[in-house]
Structure 1
Amino acid sequence: MATPILHGIHHLKFPVADLDRSLTFYTRALNARRIETWDHRHADGTLYAVILDVPGLGPYLELRLDPIQAARQAGFDPVTLAVRDQSALDGWIAHLDAAGIAHSPILVAIQAWLVVFADPDGRRLRLYTQETHGPELPPNEASPWLAGD
């Protein structure tokens, strides 16, 4: 029997400790737009998850209220987002600075360049260039933004 075909990723799901705080962050950081008609509510009406449309991401992003799992992901980088090149990283640095979001400088990664920033739960998001470099550039392994790699 042949393996059935996948059709991409429908959505990503991040556990968060505080829905409002995370919604505000992802709106500021990634220009995410909440799709309120897709809000997830318990039978009593309490909100436990929101779905976001993030420009350029492709799949939707679900923020699910789960403080225990959110704490477990602090310092982890579950998603690396693609950007074109170093000039795109410069644009992201300007955007993050304007939004008051702390971030790394442009770092040398194994194959390309990246900028790292953290969400309110300490989950690290990486902006990684599609532009690559060769082995002549050693990665910034000592950076605290890459701790745990």
Structure 2
Amino acid sequence: MTDAVITGIHHVKFPVRDIATSIDWYERVFGFTFELEFPDEDGVVRGVAGTIPGLGDAGIALRENPRAAEGFAGFDPVSFGIADREAAEAWVIRLDELGVEHSPVINASIGWIVSFHDPDGTEIRLYSFAAHGLDTSGLAGHARPRA
């Protein structure tokens, strides 16, 4: 008998308005390789799934759903992990080269973040696994220990 435990993240699915635009953006920014396509009843491909380097076994899916994409605008459903501040700074350089608007490197609750938006306005955060050691618990919007 198998234990009822979570063993990882299988995939993350983003709602998008236009599948072709999003495939292009995720390829350019993250090196997304799409391996599966999902045609609807009408035969039109409205979803794709694939991989992004660095995510291990976790996949990424894009699903054309304009209403859901609108609802996600400004929301950050996932933070992708990066190593440390130097990695955050490297992403700032990469995003500048790609012409993708982004935040500066931010001292977040635990580590460093770079934040930007996909073509539909979904906020993507790159969050460092390395901690900066700063006490940000008194700052608005930052985490604090459970009371």
CA contact (8 A) 1:77 1:124 kept: yes
Correspondences of 1:54-93 after superposition (within 5 Å): 54-58=52-56, 59-93=58-92
Deviation at 1:45, TM superposition (A): 1.6
Which consecutive unaligned segments of at least 5 residues does structure 2 have?
Answer: 142-147
User: CA–CA distance in 1 between the matches of 2:2 and 2:63?
Assistant: 34
**Cα distance change of structure 1 residues 141 and 117 upon mapping to structure 2, 3 Å threshold:** farther
Q: After TM superposition, which residue ranges in structure 1, 4 or more long, deviate above 3 angstroms?
A: 135-142
How big is each residue's C-alpha offset from its partner over 1:27-51, in whole Å with a ceiling of 9 and x where there is no partner?
111111111xx20012332111011
Match of 1:146 in 2: none
Correspondences of 1:1-149 after superposition (within 5 Å): 4-35=4-35, 38-58=36-56, 59-136=58-135
Deviation at 1:134, TM superposition (A): 2.5
Deviation at 1:5, TM superposition (A): 3.1
* DSSP 3-state at the match of 1:39: strand
CA contact (8 A) 1:108 1:139 kept: no
**Cα distance change of structure 1 residues 13 and 139 upon mapping to structure 2, 3 Å threshold:** farther
How big is each residue's C-alpha offset from its partner over 1:64-97, in whole Å with a ceiling of 9 and x where there is no partner?
0100000000000000111111111111111111
Which consecutive unaligned segments of at least 5 residues does structure 1 have?
Answer: 143-149
Deviation at 1:141, TM superposition (A): 5.2
After TM superposition, the score normalised by the length of structure 2 is 0.86
Deviation at 1:11, TM superposition (A): 1.2
What code does the residue aligned with 2:55 have? L
User: CA–CA distance in 2 between the matches of 1:98 and 1:141?
Assistant: 32
User: CA–CA distance in 1 between the matches of 2:12 and 2:125?
Assistant: 15
Deviation at 1:7, TM superposition (A): 3.0
* DSSP 3-state at the match of 1:132: coil
Deviation at 1:4, TM superposition (A): 2.0
What code does the residue aligned with 1:72 have? G
After TM superposition, the score normalised by the length of structure 1 is 0.85
